[in-house]
Structure formats: structure tokens, C-alpha cells
Amino acid sequence: MKKMFILAIVPFLFIGCIKSTSSTTNCTNVTPAAEEAQIIAYCNANGITYTKDPSGIYYQILELGTLPHPTLSSTITTNYVGKLLNGVIVDQSSAPFTSSLNQLIAGWQIGIQLIGKGGHIKMVVPSSLAYGCYGAPPTIAPNSLLYFDITLVNVQ
């Protein structure tokens, strides 16, 4: 069921990208810099010893995993939980989830490449690298920051 949620969102991401370039829309992505204070506060409150990626993602690698690390063209298998910063779970794997990395949100594309098979990462993803100003209704509101706890089970 949760896999279907993510798979259903992938086409929406592409539509969202098209809409965001239209001059007739009022949708504006929030910049990662504008969300930085909120991300840092969340990390500090939740014991995340973070590193800031230049993209704006904040992450903590709990287990680096083995080499090689995945690339955008890799097929990955993960166990994960995704939450809003208020703690509401928006998605989680009930069984290992497999997808091509290049089909997932930008935050995952950036963060997953930092670990290898067996790796474990916590990430706080700025809204513009998640579902942006369109969100993923009804679960994820526009401009929502997301927290992910991900274990990379396999890389192909």
C-alpha cells in the first residue's frame, strides 16, 4: 500500500515541476535557506547530530554501509519511515521498497548517494527537495519539510 503511495507520487512530481515553471501559477517553492532555522531546531530537539549538504538537506549517517554507493541510475531497496516535522508519519515501508533512485524525490536522490548497502541515514529534507509548493495532498501539505529514517538494504 505504501509503495503504491510513492509510485503514485512520482508522476505528480513531474507535473509539479512543469506547473512550477508556468507564469500562470501562484505556486512558489520556499528556499532551503528560508527553512534552515526550522530544520536546525528539529535536529537539535530530536538528537540528530547533523551535517548540512550544500543542497540544503541536513543528515546524520548512522551507518555508512559498503561501497560502492548508489548513483542516480541505481535501483535501490530500502526500509524507511517518512514524517512531517510534527511527528505525523506520512509514509513508511512495511516491506523492503525497491525503486530506481532517479524516480524518487530530489532529497532522496541526494541523501541516498551518501551511503552504501547496509547504510543507515536520517535526513531532514527542505520542502523544495521534497514535494515543493504543491505538496502531495491530502497527506503532505504544500511546502512541508520532511524527516526520513532510511536503511539502504540493497543497491543494483
Specify the residue for cell string 517553492: 29
Instruction: Identify the CA nearest to 151 among candidates 116, 127, 110, 125.
Output: 116
More confident residue, 5 or 94: 94
Q: What is the pLDDT of residue 26?
A: 85
- Of the pLDDT bands very low, low, confident and very high (cuts 50, 70, 90), residue 4 is very low
Each residue of 97-134: pLDDT tens digit? 999 999 999 999 999 999 999 999 999 999 999 999 99
pLDDT at residue 14 greater than cutoff 70:
no
Each residue of 15-41: pLDDT tens digit? 344 444 434 468 999 999 999 999 999
* Domain range 2-155, its CATH number among 3.40.630.30, 3.20.20.70, 3.40.50.10490, 3.10.50.40: 3.10.50.40
> How many CA atoms lie less than 13 Å away from 105 in the CB half-sphere?
27
- Cis? peptide before 32, omega within 30° of 0: no
User: What residues does each domain of the chain span?
Assistant: 2-155
Q: What is the pLDDT of residue 52?
A: 98
Q: How many angstroms separate the CA atoms of 18 and 14, rounded?
A: 6
Q: What is the pLDDT of residue 43?
A: 98
